[in-house]
Structure 1
Amino acid sequence: MDLDGLTAEVDEILADVEEPPTTPHLRLAERRPVHSWYVVAGDFHADHVRDVGREAEGLILEHAEEFLDCLGGDDALMAKVLEKLAAEPVEDLRLDFTPWTGDRVVDRAAVSWTSASASGDLPDHAGIRIPALGRETRARAVRTLGRFLEGVGEVPPGFVVTVRTVTGVAQVEALVHLAERVEKELTGNLRFEVQLESPRAVISPEGVLEIARMLDEGRDRIAAVQLVPDGFGSDRLLEHALTQVQVAAHGRDLRLVDGATVRIARGDTVVDVWTRHLAQVRRALERGLLQGRDAHPAALPSRYAATYAFSDSSA
């Protein structure tokens, strides 16, 4: 057998085939946040982060025995959570502009942001959430982002814009264009977190891995991908979508975020919230979702307790 000749023939067949880029699995030295804290933009003020920490700490002290029971009697873990809440209650902040807001709210939020930043009360990771780029909310999304950043005067370091209901490559292309235009007017680097809220945002009707195409289009503009469970209809479908997103994200410099957060129903006690949320966070961590979304002070003790316990067990 003429192996050299056969090799030449295969080379000829594959001459015009592009080699996929080889990207090493990234293990960055940067500390990644374990959650994003959402606050309605109109409720944000300069002392918000400190107030949230104090409220969460107060819940533990008020229900210390019950919280310790939730932790299986682990006094050291409880002390670690209290220390965290006193030092850094929020690791990643999102001012949420998806409820309708006018220009006054945007301007006031920008002033509060600037004040919190000047006093050192913003976490290292922070940003805003804007409405979807669908036809009905597109203008408000662009206006909110532009007006807020003009009010702040720059794209702050570590700033990330979460975008609701991203559906495909065309919207990511629009986000890249938006970032490039903003950066011509203001200093800083603008990055996005895309929220996936339907199976078609992960896999197109034609069977194409749509999220991989989005990430290719967005490149280093996409800082995170968040799956919003409510849009997937079933846990089984959500699990399948998560697997596809993890494959697409492998080797890329981005975070995968769990869109779920503890839901508080009428009549729930703080212990009910802690019990459910501890289990929820543990489950997310086991699935490889190292960051979640919180919006109530009661969720912070259980978020940090579950994360510390998981880290210790994985060490």
Structure 2
Amino acid sequence: MGQQEKVATSLAGTVSEEISASLAPVDAELERRYPGDPGTRQPVHTVYVPGDVFAADTIRSWGDRALAALDEHAPDAASFAAVLGLSDDLAEPVYSRVRAKLEREPVEDLRIDFEDGYGNRPDAEEDEAAARAARLVCEAYAQGTAAPYMGIRMKCMEAAVRDRGIRTLDVFLTGLMETGGLPDGLVLTLPKVTYPEQVTAMARLLEAFEKAHGLEPGRIGFEIQIETSQSILGPDGTATVARMIQAAEGRATGLHYGTFDYSACLGVSAAYQASDHPAADHAKAVMQVAAAGTGVRVSDGSTNVLPVGPTEKVHDAWRLHFGLTRRALARAYYQGWDMHPGHIPTRYAAVFAFYREGFEQAAGRLARYASHTGGDVMDEPATAKALSGYLLRGLDCGALDTAEVARLTGLTRADLEGFAAPRRGDLTASAQ
């Protein structure tokens, strides 16, 4: 033991108290505006099905059609890996997990579409389709055949279709309440949002529905679909999307990028409308920064190149979709849209490869951080949060197994969740 140091201070105790009192409103504002990730599962994709096409067997049908595509165009691990460029060590684990996923849970998030995919129909026809959708969703949850997340995309809040969109939402939600109640996995999507006031209007609409049925305030959230240039940059030069999150008054759950509407809005010609276009990258980067820390999650868009036709064309479409999905994952867009059953095999292949190829390194780093042992990387609490979040996402989608994660990290799921959602002050502290 060395000589004990003399500790001296110069400031009166009241200085710290005064500073804390002055910053109390800021502390409260930080908690309100930036509560952090909700810690719930985020689906890896959203499947859109037109309201008149959705049926009781839609989810199983998509899984069966995806399996049939594999049987026809990549019947074994080696052939699938050759198409996608997977390494030998990933070929079998990815392929077997993709097939198992398609058999067990082919769709993670299903949106019954009453907007572009449905179009304008006679009111009586759309009323009936919305009521039917509510009944089928309730039956699916009751029978255990539902996707983890399900809901509708209504028409937008623009004047021409506003009343129709509101009525469809009312019919659907009322049907859920009368048939079995609101499912935990309920998700609603508001498309073509241009002004924050449209988001506030959606919040008021849901508030009125909750009051009408005696539901807990804030029970119903919704996603905001970003499909116009005005939703990224407003006329005053500010990031409109950031204002939209606040306009939702805590109800916003996601920001979904609409590849083709947004591209067309900027004048991008049809041949170049894609999720990796520079215009798309800019929009999603703004969305990502606006949503960071708010608990609102960002979703990438889709590709409209369908894996159909002869095997060569299917393989080309698979490579394109796989590459776009991997690109999005590397940029922390953990969700995207899938437009066809043939997209699902490459969605899961890309997701599973992403988590499995980095699994051992992430697990090792987190294990060393948790046990305070050294390594070749000095990690801090923020990195431990990212590492545990990576492992949790891998577990949620089926890329990783609980046993193998526990074996390499020595941690339980509860431990991982603790690292993934640290207290705000912990992120400013240095790793021990």
Q: TM-score, normalised by structure 1?
A: 0.89
Aligned length: 306
Return the match for 2:182 from 146, 155, 172.
155
Cα contact 1:50–1:89 (8 A) shared by 2: yes
- The separation in 1 between residues aligned to 2:105 and 2:351, in whole angstroms, is 15
- The separation in 2 between residues aligned to 1:305 and 1:219, in whole angstroms, is 37
Query: Are positions 1:194 and 2:221 aligned together?
Result: no
Return the match for 2:40 from 17, 30, 38.
30
Look up the match of 1:103.
Answer: 127
Could you say which structure has the larger radius of gyration?
A: 2
Say which structure is richer in strand: 1
Higher RCO structure, 1 or 2 (CA under 8 Å, sep 6+): 1
Look up the match of 1:240.
Answer: 282
**Secondary structure at 1:86 match in 2:** helix
Look up the match of 1:79.
Answer: 96
Cα contact 2:307–2:314 (8 A) shared by 1: no
Greater shift in the superposed pair: 58-67 or 46-55: 58-67
Query: Are positions 1:169 and 2:196 aligned together?
Result: yes
When the two chains are superposed, the root-mean-square deviation of aligned CA atoms in Å is 2.6
Query: Are positions 1:264 and 2:306 aligned together?
Result: yes
State the AA in 1 paired with 2:82.
Answer: D
- The separation in 2 between residues aligned to 1:29 and 1:245, in whole angstroms, is 20
Greater shift in the superposed pair: 295-304 or 198-207: 198-207
Look up the match of 2:105.
Answer: 88
- The separation in 2 between residues aligned to 1:16 and 1:32, in whole angstroms, is 34
Query: Are positions 1:313 and 2:369 aligned together?
Result: no
- The separation in 1 between residues aligned to 2:233 and 2:358, in whole angstroms, is 32
Deviations, residues 152-172 of structure 1 (Å, cap 9, x unaligned): 223322211111101121001
Look up the match of 2:401.
Answer: none
Query: Are positions 1:48 and 2:48 aligned together?
Result: no
State the AA in 2 paired with 1:195.
Answer: Q
The structure-2 alpha-carbon separation of the partners of 1:243 and 1:17, relative to structure 1 and needing over 3 Å to count, comes to farther
Look up the match of 2:258.
Answer: 228
Cα contact 1:262–1:276 (8 A) shared by 2: no
Cα contact 1:92–1:125 (8 A) shared by 2: yes
**Secondary structure at 1:22 match in 2:** helix
Deviations, residues 160-208 of structure 1 (Å, cap 9, x unaligned): 1111101121001101101101112234721111111122101212111
Return the match for 1:214 from 244, 254, 260.
244
Report the Cα offset of residue 18 of structure 1.
Answer: 6.3
Greater shift in the superposed pair: 145-154 or 65-74: 65-74
Report the Cα offset of residue 262 of structure 1.
Answer: 4.2
Report the Cα offset of residue 241 of structure 1.
Answer: 2.0
- The separation in 2 between residues aligned to 1:248 and 1:190, in whole angstroms, is 22
**Secondary structure at 1:95 match in 2:** strand
State the AA in 1 paired with 2:319.
Answer: T
Report the Cα offset of residue 30 of structure 1.
Answer: 2.0
Q: For residues 115-130 of structure 1, what are the structure 2 equivalents within 5 Å?
A: 115-130=139-154
The structure-2 alpha-carbon separation of the partners of 1:76 and 1:265, relative to structure 1 and needing over 3 Å to count, comes to closer
Structure 1, unaligned runs of 5 or more? none
Report the Cα offset of residue 144 of structure 1.
Answer: 0.4
% identical equivalent positions: 34
Q: TM-score, normalised by structure 2?
A: 0.66
State the AA in 2 paired with 1:82.
Answer: R
Greater shift in the superposed pair: 267-276 or 239-248: 267-276
Greater shift in the superposed pair: 19-28 or 186-195: 19-28
Structure 2, unaligned runs of 5 or more? 1-10, 269-276, 360-432
The structure-2 alpha-carbon separation of the partners of 1:241 and 1:190, relative to structure 1 and needing over 3 Å to count, comes to same
Report the Cα offset of residue 17 of structure 1.
Answer: 12
Report the Cα offset of residue 264 of structure 1.
Answer: 2.2
- The separation in 2 between residues aligned to 1:314 and 1:179, in whole angstroms, is 41
Report the Cα offset of residue 104 of structure 1.
Answer: 1.9
Greater shift in the superposed pair: 63-72 or 40-49: 63-72
Query: Are positions 1:184 and 2:211 aligned together?
Result: yes
State the AA in 1 paired with 2:165.
Answer: A
State the AA in 1 paired with 2:63.
Answer: G
Cα contact 2:308–2:314 (8 A) shared by 1: no
